[in-house]
C-alpha cells in the first residue's frame, strides 16, 4: 500500500506528520511512502532527506493515487477536493466539534482514523499524539512566559541585593501542565498548580510544586480527561486560587474539555487582582480561552497584565514535535498495518476509539 504524507495547509504550521527516519521504517514494513514536495521544510526535513530514506517526492496532484493519506491537522477543502473517494485518511479530526467536516469526509466514503480520538489507555500510550504534543507545548509555554516576563525566574543573590524567585501558577495538571511545572521548577521559579482532579496532587508535589486544593467538592476524570466542572466547583476553585493569582508573576492555563468551549478560569474580576507586569499564557486560546480577555493569536494587555493567546505551541518546536508525531503514527501503523497492508480489527479497543467513519458508514458522532 502507498502512504502519502501531505503538506500542512494550516497558517503558521511548521510541523510535518512523518519524519524521514519513520518513513524509512514504514518502507521496511512493506509500505511504499510518498511525500508532497517540501512538506518537511518547516521542520527542517529536506526533500533530499526523504529521498535518501527511500521516499518518493511528488506533487499534490500525483499523490491522489496513494491508498493512505497522513497529515497532522484536519484536511482543508483543497485537500478534500484533491483526494478521490474511498481512501484512508489519518490525522486529527476533532469530530466532536467538527460535525460538518466529519459528514463531508463520510460522504466521500473515506475511512477516517482520527488521532485525537485514540483512547487514553496503557496500550495506546505510544500512539497518543495529544500527549506527545502537549508535553512540548507545556515546555514552550514556560519559555514563552519567561521571554515576556520582565524579571528572572530563579533566586539571585548579588552584591547589590537579593532578587526573589518568580512565582508561577498553573491551571490544569495534565500532560502540558506537568511539563510546565517541571520546566518552571528547573528555571528556579516557585510553582503552584491547581486541577479539578484531586489525584493530581501527588504528581504536582513530586515535581516540587505546591498543589492548591479545593476541599469538599470533587470533579474527577473520565477517559483520561478531566470532567467538566460544576458551577459550585468553579466558585470554590476561584476562591482557593485568588490569593496565589494576585501574587503570581506568570500564570499558565491549560484546561480543555473535549468537544466543548474551554472553561473560563480567570474572569474580569480576577484579572483586576493580578499585578501589573504579570503574564498569562492561555494555552486554551483556540478553544475560546481560559481567560475572559484572551484573544487567539494576539497579545492583549488589561490593566498592565499581558494576556497571550497561544495557538499551536508545538509548531514552535517543529523538529521535535514532528519527530514525536511521526513515532505516534508509526506505532499506530504497526497495529493496523504490520505487514504493509491496512487491516482494521473493529473489535480492537484502539480502532474502535479512533475510527470515525468507514466506507460511507459514520461510526462516531458528537
Active site residues: 120, 125, 128, 131, 225
What pairs with residue 168 in β-bridges? 191, 250
Q: What is the distance in angstroms between the CA of the first residue and the CA of the last residue of the chain? A: 31
**What's the rounded Cα separation, in Å, for the pair 292 and 302?**
11
Asked if 267 contacts 241 with a C-beta cutoff of 8 angstroms, the reply is no
What number of other Cβ atoms are within 10 A of residue 215's Cβ? 8
Asked if 56 contacts 79 with a C-beta cutoff of 8 angstroms, the reply is no
Closest among 106, 109, 27, 22 to 359, alpha carbons compared: 109
Amino acid at each position: 500500500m502507498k502512504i502519502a504524507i501531505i503538506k500542512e495547509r494550516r497558517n503558521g504550521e511548521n510541523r510535518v506528520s512523518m519524519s524521514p527516519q519513520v518513513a524509512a521504517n514504514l518502507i521496511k514494513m512493506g509500505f511504499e511512502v510518498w511525500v508532497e514536495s517540501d512538506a518537511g521544510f518547516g521542520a527542517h526535513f529536506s526533500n533530499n532527506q526523504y529521498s535518501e530514506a527511500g521516499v518518493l517526492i511528488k506533487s499534490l496532484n500525483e499523490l491522489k493515487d496513494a491508498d493512505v493519506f497522513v497529515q497532522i491537522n484536519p484536511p482543508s477543502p483543497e485537500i478534500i477536493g484533491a483526494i478521490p473517494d474511498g481512501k484512508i485518511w489519518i490525522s486529527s479530526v476533532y469530530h466532536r466539534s467538527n460535525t460538518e467536516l466529519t459528514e463531508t469526509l463520510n460522504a466521500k466514503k473515506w475511512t477516517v482514523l482520527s488521532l485525537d480520538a485514540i483512547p487514553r489507555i496503557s496500550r495506546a500510550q505510544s500512539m497518543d499524539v495529544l500527549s506527545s504534543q502537549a508535553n512540548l507545548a507545556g515546555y514552550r509555554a514556560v519559555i514563552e512566559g519567561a521571554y515576556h516576563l520582565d524579571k528572572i525566574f530563579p533566586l539571585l543573590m548579588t552584591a547589590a541585593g537579593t532578587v526573589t524567585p518568580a512565582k508561577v501558577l498553573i491551571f490544569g495538571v495534565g500532560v502540558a501542565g506537568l511539563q510546565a511545572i517541571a520546566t518552571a521548577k528547573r528555571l528556579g521559579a516557585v510553582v503552584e498548580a491547581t486541577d479539578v482532579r484531586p489525584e493530581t496532587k501527588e504528581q504536582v508535589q513530586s515535581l516540587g510544586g505546591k498543589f492548591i486544593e479545593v476541599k469538599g467538592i470533587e470533579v474527577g476524570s473520565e477517559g483520561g480527561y478531566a470532567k467538566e466542572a460544576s458551577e459550585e466547583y468553579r466558585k470554590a476553585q476561584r476562591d482557593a486560587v485568588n490569593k496565589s493569582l494576585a501574587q503570581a508573576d506568570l500564570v499558565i492555563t491549560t484546561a480543555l474539555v473535549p468537544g466543548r468551549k474551554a472553561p473560563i478560569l480567570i474572569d474580569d474580576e480576577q484579572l483586576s487582582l493580578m499585578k501589573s507586569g504579570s503574564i498569562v499564557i492561555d494555552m486554551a486560546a483556540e478553544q475560546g480561552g481560559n481567560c475572559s480577555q484572551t484573544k487567539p493569536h494576539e497579545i492583549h494587555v488589561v490593566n498592565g497584565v499581558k494576556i497571550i493567546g497561544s495557538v499551536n505551541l508545538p509548531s514552535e518546536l517543529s523538529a521535535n514535535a514532528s519527530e514525536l508525531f511521526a513515532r505516534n503514527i508509526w506505532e499506530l501503523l504497526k497495529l493496523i498495518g504490520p505487514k504493509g497492508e491496512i487491516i482494521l480489527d473493529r473489535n480492537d479497543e484502539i480502532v474502535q476509539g479512533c475510527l470515525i467513519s468507514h466506507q460511507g458508514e459514520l461510526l462516531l458522532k458528537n
